[in-house]
A and B are shown apart, each in its own frame.
Chain A
Amino acid sequence: MTAKIAYDDVEVGTELPAQTFPVTRETLVRYAGASGDFNPIHWNEKFAKEVGLPDVIAHGMFTMAEAVRVVTDWTGDPGAVVEYGVRFTKPVVVPNDDKGALIEVSGKVAAKLDDNTVRVDLTATSGGQKVLGMSRAVVRLA
C-alpha cells in the first residue's frame, strides 16, 4: 500500500477534501498530556486572561497537527509528508462551554515538484479568523 493519490492525477489547483476539527477544553487537556506542553494558557482561564488573552487558547502545535490531516487523509500514507511549515497568526480561542471552537481547514495543490511531490497550500480558520499563515506541506504521491 502506498499513497492512494497518483501524481499524474493531480494538477495545480486540485482541491483537497476540506475538514472541520472541533476543539474543546477536554481536547486541550488531552493534547497537553500527550505532547507534554502544560503551559497554563491552554487550560487555565484565569491565567490566560491575566496575560492578556481573551480566554484559554489552543496549542498552536495542536492546530498544526490538525491542519496536516487534510493532507495525510487525502494521500492515505501519513509518512509521505516531506516538508510542513506554518506561521501562527491568530490564536484559536476555546470557550468553556459544550461547543468549544472549530478549526476549518482546506487545501489545494499549489505546485507540482520533482520526484512525485506536490506542494499543498492550506488555509485554517477559526471563528472567521485565519489562524495559520504560510501553511504549506510538500507531500510525495504515488
Chain B
Amino acid sequence: MALDQSFVGRTYPPTAPYEVGREKIREFADAVGEANPAFTDPEAAKAFGYSDVIAPPTFVFSITFRAAGQVIEDPQLGLDYSRVVHGDQKFAYSRPVRAGDRLTVTSTIEAIKSLAGNDILDIRGEVHDEAGEHVVTAWTKLVARAAEEA
C-alpha cells in the first residue's frame, strides 16, 4: 500500500544527545580496517588540526539511522520495515565528528514516492553539536519492496 504523501516535510523532534567516545571511534575504525592515527591517537589528530580524535566519515550513520527509527517505526506512516532495503546514502559535512561531541539528530521526511509498487522514502538527518552548530547532514533513501502477489 502506498505511503501517505501528507508525511512529506514532517520533521520529528531532535533526539537526546549521543556522546561520541574515543573508544567507540577506535572500535569502528578497527572494524572497517582504518589505520590512520587521526582516529585513535589524540596527538596525531591534533597534528591535523583537530582538538581530539575524529571519526571515519561513515561513523555517524549509526547515529542518524537510529534517529531515523522515529520515522521508520512511526505507526501512522506504516512502513513495512521487513521489506526495506537501503537504496542510497549521502553525507555533507561541515566538520568531521570527533570524540567528545554530543550530537543530536533532527529527522525530516524529504520525499515519498511509489514506483512499481515499491515505496521509496527519503529521510534527511541534520546533526548538530551541543553548541547548536551544524556538523553533518545525512540523506538516507529506503526502499520498501512491493509485497509479492499471494
Point out residues on A near B: beta carbons under 8 Å.
Answer: 1-2, 21, 27, 30-31, 33-37, 60-62, 64-66, 68-69, 72-73, 77-79, 81-88, 134
Contact = CB atoms under 8 A, between A and B. Distances in A.
Tier of interface size on chain B: 35 or more
A78 B91 contact: no
Contacts of A82: 92-93
Which has the most chain B C-beta neighbours within 10 Å: A2, A36, A78, A84? A78
A44 to B, nearest CB: 15
B89 A86 contact: yes
Interface stretch (B1-9, B32-40, B103-111, B125-133): B32-40
B62 interface: yes
A84 B38 contact: no
B57 interface: yes
A60 B89 contact: yes
B33 A21 contact: yes
Given A35-B28, A84-B57, A69 B33 contact: yes
B63 to A, nearest CB: 9
B96 A30 contact: no
Contacts, number: 99
A60 B93 CA distance: 20
Contacts of A35: 28, 31, 61-62
Nearest to B96: A79
B27 interface: yes
A98 to B, nearest CB: 18
Contacts of A37: 62, 65
Interface in B38-64: 38-39, 47-50, 54, 56-58, 61-62
A88 B86 CA distance: 7
B31 A30 contact: yes
Which has the most chain B C-beta neighbours within 10 Å: A2, A34, A84? A34
A77 B93 CA distance: 14
A84 B28 contact: no
16 contacts: A31-B31, A33-B31, A34-B32, A35-B31, A60-B89, A61-B86, A64-B58, A72-B57, A79-B95, A79-B96, A81-B93, A83-B90, A83-B93, A85-B89, A85-B91, A134-B88
A77 B45 CA distance: 9
A68 B86 contact: no
B85 interface: yes
Nearest to B26: A34
A84 B86 contact: no
A116 B40 CA distance: 27
Which has the most chain B C-beta neighbours within 10 Å: A35, A37, A60, A72? A35
A78 B47 contact: no
B32 A62 contact: yes
B66 interface: yes
